[in-house]
Amino acid sequence: MTKPVIGFVGLGLMGGNMVENLQNRGFDLVVMDLDRDAVDRVLARAAVSARELAQASDIVMLCLTTSEVVEGLVFGEDGILAGIRPGAVVIDYGTSIPASTRKIGAALAQKGAGMIDAPLGRTPAHARDGHLNIMAAGDRGVFDRVKPALDQQGENVFYLGPLGTGHVTKLINNFMGMTTVCAMSQAFAVAERAGVDTRQLYDIMSAGPSNSPFMAFCKNYAVDGQSDLGFSINNANKDLGYFLRMVEDLGTRVEIAEGTSNNLQAAVDAGLGAGNVPEIFDYFRTLST
């Protein structure tokens, strides 16, 4: 069976590794990124516009930073919507606002195209090996059509329901994860200030029910000085902001998320935004009354 032509936009840390994986598996790709060096690093055709990329592709994959960037790429004068072919499918791998995802999906449907929101779990290393967790949502028939391509990228591909459900799930997942990182990083900062051996603290906490991969990431930085999570404070701050907007749209509040968001924003304001999330430890260790 002939593999679909894939247009891929966004060749950052995650997207670049996803493209490498797809190339290794024999897919024909057309790529686009504002970073010319990132485009030159991959062995694929380069498109000069989103419209051109969409015209050449059976599946358009997006791995971008914000909903605003995605909307601009889709609805722009020379954007995806202007070039998308009937029967093509757009897959958004980023972490986006669910309401924005549904708006884009409705516009694509009017052109006879489909959309799947498929945010990702795990790390860039998993992306390179095709071992991501993929939280996919959208029309079931559209999902079934693109699932063979998703299976090349994900060890676990979850179908979650109607369009937007993937992004809802991802935002909830990131709220939990980033709140955990903030709590554990601050625990290490308090222990350091109190004169408690932080390595011994980790040994004690990890022997109980608090143990988790996130605890290990926090310990790796706070205790060992190794920053290896591969997810920036800037991105976490953006995702918590999206989570709070989604919660507000649902007519409720999540006060714990508000606290996490405040911590992340404070770390960004302190100039730490480009660092990996466990580096928020450096913000907590300098706090004073």
All structural domains of the chain: 6-162 (3.40.50.720), 167-284 (1.10.1040.10)
- The CB-based long-range contact list for 124-127 (8 Å cut-off, 24+ gap) reads 124/13, 124/14, 124/16, 124/17, 124/230, 125/17, 125/230, 126/155, 127/14, 127/15, 127/17, 127/18, 127/21, 127/153
Please report where in the chains the tokens 């190339």 appear, as a residue.
23
What is residue 41's predicted lDDT score, i.e. its pLDDT?
83
Q: What angle do CA 76, 77, 80 make, to 5 degrees?
A: 60
Q: How confident is the model at residue 13 (pLDDT cuts 50, 70, 90)?
A: confident
Statement: residue 1 has pLDDT above 70: no
Q: What angle do CA 83, 89, 91 make, to 5 degrees?
A: 110
Would you call 3 a catalytic residue per the annotation?
A: no
State the catalytic residue, choosing from 3, 111, 147, 170.
170
Statement: residue 156 has pLDDT above 90: yes
The residue among 34 and 195 whose pLDDT is bigger is 195
What is residue 38's predicted lDDT score, i.e. its pLDDT?
85
The percentage of the chain sitting over the pLDDT mark of 90, rounded to a whole number, equals 91
The percentage of the chain sitting over the pLDDT mark of 70, rounded to a whole number, equals 100
What is residue 36's predicted lDDT score, i.e. its pLDDT?
85
> Would you say 3 and 27 are in contact if contact means Cβ atoms under 8 Å apart?
yes
Lowest mean pLDDT among 30-34, 35-39, 47-51, 102-106: 35-39
| pLDDT tens digits along 134-144 | 999 999 999 99
What is residue 49's predicted lDDT score, i.e. its pLDDT?
96
| pLDDT tens digits along 240-286 | 999 999 999 999 999 999 999 999 999 999 999 999 999 999 999 99
